[in-house]
Amino acid sequence: MNIVILESDHLQILLDVLRKRGYQVIGPTLGDGAIVYDGLNTTANLPIGWTDEQDGGTYRLKKRNDKALFGYNVGPHSWKKYLLPSELRLWKIKRNGNSFQIVTENEATQKFAFIGVRSCDIHAISIQDKVFMNGQYIDQHYKSQRKDTFIVAVNCGKAGGTCFCVSMNSGPRATFGFDLAMTEILEGENHYFLIETGTELGAEILREIPHKEASEKQKCAADDILKNTAEQMGRSMDTSNIKDLFYRNHEHPRWNNVAERCLTCANCTMVCPTCFCTTIEDVTDLTGEHAERWRKLDSCFTMDFSYIHGGSVRSSIKSRYRQWITHKLATWIDQFGTSGCVGCGRCITWCPVAIDITEEVDAIRKSEPVSERQTTEAVEIKGS
């Protein structure tokens, strides 16, 4: 694949070309004390010279000592803000005497170009693609939105304090699922992007922007940056036999321990780029002539989520945390063939009480007698 150089000053042309082709350009920008995703009119809207410092339950913006455009990691928003809107009207109904008329709203009305999608989030999008576009039940809104989404990936030039994509095999280099992928390079006065094309559409758009061939030295510089990022991961997770680890620890004293800390506030699920649960609300107006059906982002941490006749199935905090993490890291594998976790670290950063998914896995793993761990591993080797 051809790798080319785009001068940082020419990034604006990319945005212009995309807009001219009818895309609404979305990307990282400063907002409410964080780097969030919103509309980008110009590259001046990017968080130029800003970075973030993240740890369990804390996120702070900091100034960098350079003019990097993408010198930070993922923030509180994920791309599901656009692909899986938190509130979406599915249809409207109007009463017509004794009958009624339904107006459906399944088709997306706008096409998006996402700028600065990190590798972990590309993995997350591909997981949601499986959830919504594979199998018998297709989510028409998601499908129509996804069909026209243009993705410009950014390979991470640094790792965040809660990042662990290396453990989850989901970063820091974007390897698929993009139209264009960029690595930002700042060398003294030189500020440029190494661009890799992922699709024919990406190549077509690149042809409209001034660029030149990358030298071997420039390619090496990008490789070094990514190697360095991979070595900086703030967190790590041992995923060996992780499905069985959870399957044999439905009952474990750690669940009581985490229940003492967990607020069941649902922040982890709301910021998670793969969590996809929604609920349905039917509303009517006072006249009784109009009704609407809305889909809203939901969470397995609420009581309503598991409410069936007679009460909530998971009424204890313990059972709700266990359900979430077991689904994310174990039953997800049976359900969709991949882990539900991409190592973006959002659930760690945005948990008000800093509950850390990597620490919880570690605590359960380390509590098991060594003999049990070895036995399972031996069986695994024999079986494979």
Partner 1 sequence: MRKIRKPKLAVWKFASCDGCQLSLLDCEDELLSVVNKIDIAYFLEASRNVVRGPYDISLVEGSVTTQHDAERIQNIRKISKLLITIGACATAGGIQSLRNFKDVKDFISLVYANPQYIETLDKSTPIASHVRVDYELRGCPINKRQLLEIISAYLNERKPNTPSHSVCIECKRRGTVCVMVSQGIPCLGPVTHAGCNAICPTYCRGCYGCYGPKETPNTSSLSEKFSNSGLNNDSIMRMFRTFNACAEPFRKESEAHEIEEAGSNKPEYST
CA distances from 276 to 156, 252, 297 (A): 25, 27, 7
Q: Is the Cβ of residue 34 or residue 83 nearer to partner 1 in the bound state?
A: 34
By CB under 8 A, what part of segment 285-344 binds partner 1? 285-288, 291, 296-297, 299, 301-304, 315, 317
Angle separating helix axes 253-261 and 357-367, nearest 10 degrees: 160
Cβ burial, residue 251 (10 Å; 0-12/13-18/19+): exposed
Question: Minimal distance in Å, beta carbon 331 to partner 1?
Answer: 23
| Whole-angstrom distance, CA of residue 371 vs CA of residue 356 | 26
Number of residues that bind partner 1 (CB under 8 A): 48
* Per CB under 8 A, 32 contacts partner 1: yes
Q: Is the Cβ of residue 324 or residue 350 nearer to partner 1 in the bound state?
A: 350
Question: Minimal distance in Å, beta carbon 249 to partner 1?
Answer: 22
Judged by CB under 8 A, the stretch of 9-17, 29-37, 43-51, 119-127 that binds partner 1 is 29-37
| Whole-angstrom distance, CA of residue 265 vs CA of residue 345 | 17
By CB under 8 A, what part of segment 147-176 binds partner 1? none
By CB under 8 A, what part of segment 45-74 binds partner 1? 57-61
Q: Are residues 112 and 24 in contact, defined by beta-carbon separation less than 8 angstroms?
A: yes
* Per CB under 8 A, 81 contacts partner 1: yes
Instruction: Name the percent of the chain in helix, strand, coil, to the closest 5.
Output: 35, 25, 40
Q: Are residues 174 and 119 in contact, defined by beta-carbon separation less than 8 angstroms?
A: yes
Partnered with residue 197 across adjacent β-strands are: 180
Q: Is the Cβ of residue 275 or residue 341 nearer to partner 1 in the bound state?
A: 275
* Per CB under 8 A, 271 contacts partner 1: yes
* Per CB under 8 A, 282 contacts partner 1: yes
* Per CB under 8 A, 352 contacts partner 1: yes
Question: Minimal distance in Å, beta carbon 298 to partner 1?
Answer: 8
Provide the 10 A C-beta neighbour count for residue 1.
7
Among 43, 155, 218, 267, which residue interacts with partner 1 (rule: CB under 8 A)?
267
- Among 297, 317, 192, CA closest to 256: 317
* Nearest-5° Cα angle at 315, 314 to 316: 95
Q: Is the Cβ of residue 88 or residue 230 nearer to partner 1 in the bound state?
A: 88
Judged by CB under 8 A, the stretch of 123-131, 204-212, 229-237, 347-355 that binds partner 1 is 347-355
- Among 281, 258, 221, CA closest to 357: 258
Q: Is the Cβ of residue 73 or residue 183 nearer to partner 1 in the bound state?
A: 73
Q: Are residues 225 and 158 in contact, defined by beta-carbon separation less than 8 angstroms?
A: no
Q: Is the Cβ of residue 282 or residue 334 nearer to partner 1 in the bound state?
A: 282
Q: Is the Cβ of residue 200 or residue 304 nearer to partner 1 in the bound state?
A: 304
Give me the residues that bind partner 1 (CB under 8 A), please: 31-34, 36, 57-61, 75-77, 81, 86-87, 260-267, 270-271, 281-288, 291, 296-297, 299, 301-304, 315, 317, 349-350, 352-353
